Amino acid sequence: MINFTRPNASKAALLVLKTTTIAAAIAFCSINAGFAADANFSPANPFFAPSTLPFQAPPFDKIKSEDFEPAIEAGMAQQQDEIQRIADNHDAPSFENTIVAMEKSGQLLRRVTAVFSGITGANTNDILQKVRTVEAPKLAAHRDFIFLNTKLFGRVDAIYKQRATLTLDAESLRLVEQYHDDFIHAGANLSQADKNELRKLNEELSSLSTAFSNKLLAATKAGAYVTANRATLEGLSDARIAAAAQAAKARQVEGFVLPLQNTTQQPDLASLSDRSTRQEIFEHSWSRAERGDANDTRDTIARIAQLRAQKAKLLGYSSFAAWKLEDQMAKTPEAALEFMDAIVPAATAKAAREAKDIQDLIDSQKGGFQLQPWDWDYYAERVRKAQYDLDDAQVKPYFELDNVLQNGVFYAANQLYGLTFKERHDIPVYQPDVRVFEVFDANGHHLALFYCDYFKRDNKNGGAWMSEFVGQSRLLGTSPIVYNVANFSKPAEGEPALISFTDVITMFHEFGHALHGMFSDCDYPTLSGTSIARDFVEFPSQFNEHWALYPSIFAHYAQHYKTGAPMPQELAARIRKAETFNKGYDMTELLAAAELDMQWHFLPPQAPPQNPDEFEKQALEKKHLSIGYLPPRYRSTYFSHIWQSGYSAGYYAYLWTQMLADDAFQWFVEHGELTRANGDRFRNMVLSKGNTEDLARMYEEWRGAPPNTKAMLKYRGLEESTPK
């Protein structure tokens, strides 16, 4: 997952924005509600002026929770002034006095919201949650103030119409087109009555997203499995049980606590041998947000879906999905659906073969039951062991977190792009687990700062993501400060952090996003770095996953944490072979979630609020994805990507970008694999370009052909569809 916002993304509502961009700041922008700068906002506020720390790193040693609200309020007021001055300018509209001026506006707001978004996601507290609830609708309104400003749109439109006669370079031209699209997309050419209606919809949607987020955080916390009976945890490692005891201590309860992860399946289900414990944990996960209590999200999501459909209609689209996909690489929901529908048979056929292997194992052990979702991971792990003689306990000692980071993730970036890394202990962090590295280019020059925050906490959102505290822009003279956040189990005091190979892949994935942010070489903040279509943004991250298993890189980090011995060849070979294991399940649970997302956002504007359970059931049945033993990766009621994080009608992008990532890796395979020349070519033609060119054309120019699903099906073991 990545934090990423375009001006038209509903994510603005959530305060999870891509703050490097003005667009993002704009996304977080202003309004009519009288943003008089707060009297509490003074030079004593750490956001008052740009940070004086190296590279404008956020002064976390000075920032207090109470500093955000006055700074956000003042930031909106300041940008509102700046925007109004641009709109009221008596000079004829020019690229400089309108477009560039907008790119330069909102610097305070950008500064504070970047940090606010980072902290509320990774290290929140009651004060911050409250500020978010208060500010989210104001920020949505602020954005409307800009994109629904008739005078401002008049200037942008005039520049857009003269663009052929202006002597603009390609990036500037793209910026003009981008702004124009964003205004149109936001409803700038609507009647005044419709604009008012849109404002109301946006504010309610923003509040609902925040409500969803707060409910889900509480529901997930409440859904933890708590037991005083250690016997129910049989199968978990001693380290895991110690961590569960520590989690209980942190919550001041007796016994053991297994916190819920944000996905349907829970990692501990792969180890827990007590079937009733597994079932209980699964059911906690499955029904976490529909218990009829204050944390039940059903009414909230039904209302969000309904309002989104109404918003799309107001903007002249047949569905929210049609509105959302217009500026994506896929362009239409139909193209995305066609792509997904075509993969369903291969994915579900592979999943059915995997299910048969599992049922065979259950039967051979005289289990006497039919495979259920809470059995899948447990038996899959046994099938994996039987077929590949590979289990996590055997593998994890070779993946010590810091070693994977420095000798794996960083090393791959060194081999491909020449980067080097140096840990900085002098730069303040927001929580003691966070680490900071300075990143140097091949020529030894400073490139970026990289923060990583890998351990799970109760006050952190689930999943893993990347975003930025500062984005790259030549216009603003800023170099990137990017961060990766994950939710790896924190080891007990004094124990090494041994992670699974899945976690290793997550690190490579998030670092792929980080590279996309760090390599950005663009003039304008709106177009820089990861500020890009969703069905492209997951491409660099998934592409980077491929290097985790690349022989010379794997050998460099997969070493025993105690002895430093390299992973034995045959164990490494088994990991490699196991890579296509369970891919039918993985692909199908992803497809099911993506189909749910798309169908929620295909609702016609006149549709009444849906019953989420009924809707979900029918949506999956329609696409042949209602499979008893194979639940969607996220259920509607806890699908935070689509209700809170801006992936609405965009979850298909994970699959679409898998296609791009695998197809791109295939290019490396065909051109000499891991070389600095290949890395630099990819960096120069793709990773450094942000959103400064048409994405389909950019890809094709680098690849020499449009992408196709061939490599995707091959790398994921889905190409042979004949049952064994």
Residues taking part in catalysis: 510
Tell me if 2 contacts Zn ion by CB under 5 A. Answer: yes
Q: Which two tokens stand for residue 347?
A: 């994915």
Please give the residues from 422 up to 441 whose contact with Zn ion meets the rule CB under 5 A. Answer: none
Per CB under 5 A, the segment of 392-400, 432-440, 540-548, 687-695 that binds Zn ion is 540-548
CB of 644 to Zn ion, least distance (A): 16
In the bound state with Zn ion, the residue whose beta carbon lies nearer, of 268 and 538, is: 538
Q: Which two tokens stand for residue 344?
A: 């369903």
- What are the distances in angstroms from CA 355 to CA 261, 347, 352, 544, 628? 24, 12, 5, 30, 11
Q: How far is CA 29 from the centre of its chain?
A: 22
At position 84, the amino acid (one-letter code) is: Q
The 274-293 site mask, x for binding Zn ion (CB under 5 A), equals --------------------
Handedness of CA 133, 466, 516, 342 (dihedral sign): negative
Q: What is the DSSP letter of 426?
A: S
> Which among 534, 593, 644 is positioned nearest to 205, based on CA atoms?
644
32 neighbors 38 (Cβ within 8 angstroms): no
- Classify residue 369 by burial, with Cβ atoms within 10 Å: 0-12, 13-18, 19+: exposed
The 337-366 site mask, x for binding Zn ion (CB under 5 A), equals ------------------------------
CA separation for the pair 105, 521 (Å, rounded): 20
In the bound state with Zn ion, the residue whose beta carbon lies nearer, of 2 and 429, is: 2
**CB under 8 Å to 271, separation ≥6 — which residues?**
235, 236, 237, 240, 378, 381, 392
In the bound state with Zn ion, the residue whose beta carbon lies nearer, of 2 and 141, is: 2
Per CB under 5 A, the segment of 253-261, 533-541, 590-598, 641-649 that binds Zn ion is 533-541
CB of 391 to Zn ion, least distance (A): 27
CB of 210 to Zn ion, least distance (A): 23
Q: What is the DSSP letter of 68?
A: H
516 neighbors 631 (Cβ within 8 angstroms): no
> Which among 57, 63, 29 is positioned nearest to 45, based on CA atoms?
63
In the bound state with Zn ion, the residue whose beta carbon lies nearer, of 3 and 271, is: 3
CB of 545 to Zn ion, least distance (A): 10
In the bound state with Zn ion, the residue whose beta carbon lies nearer, of 2 and 515, is: 2
CA separation for the pair 691, 673 (Å, rounded): 26
Tell me if 263 contacts Zn ion by CB under 5 A. Answer: no
The 479-518 site mask, x for binding Zn ion (CB under 5 A), equals ----------------------------------------
**CB under 8 Å to 164, separation ≥6 — which residues?**
none
CB of 15 to Zn ion, least distance (A): 19
Number of residues that bind Zn ion (CB under 5 A): 3
543 neighbors 507 (Cβ within 8 angstroms): no
Chain residue at closest Cβ approach to Zn ion: 541
Q: What angle do CA 503, 505, 506 make, to 5 degrees?
A: 60
CB of 81 to Zn ion, least distance (A): 36
* Binding-site member from 285, 473, 541, 666 for Zn ion (CB under 5 A): 541
Per CB under 5 A, the segment of 86-94, 227-235, 446-454, 539-547 that binds Zn ion is 539-547
Residue with tokens 């070779």: 398
In the bound state with Zn ion, the residue whose beta carbon lies nearer, of 129 and 658, is: 658
Per CB under 5 A, the segment of 240-248, 367-375, 534-542, 712-720 that binds Zn ion is 534-542
In the bound state with Zn ion, the residue whose beta carbon lies nearer, of 266 and 484, is: 484
Per CB under 5 A, the segment of 153-161, 263-271, 413-421, 530-538 that binds Zn ion is 530-538
- Would strands 446-455 and 481-488 be described as parallel, antiparallel, or unpaired? parallel
> Which among 531, 389, 548, 461 is positioned nearest to 122, based on CA atoms?
461
Handedness of CA 604, 605, 611, 616 (dihedral sign): positive
CB of 654 to Zn ion, least distance (A): 8
151 neighbors 89 (Cβ within 8 angstroms): no
Per CB under 5 A, the segment of 95-103, 531-539, 681-689, 694-702 that binds Zn ion is 531-539
In the bound state with Zn ion, the residue whose beta carbon lies nearer, of 479 and 544, is: 544
CB of 2 to Zn ion, least distance (A): 5
CB of 509 to Zn ion, least distance (A): 6
Q: Which two tokens stand for residue 550?
A: 């690349």
In the bound state with Zn ion, the residue whose beta carbon lies nearer, of 375 and 538, is: 538
Tell me if 16 contacts Zn ion by CB under 5 A. Answer: no
463 neighbors 487 (Cβ within 8 angstroms): yes
The site for Zn ion (CB under 5 A) is made up of 2, 538, 541
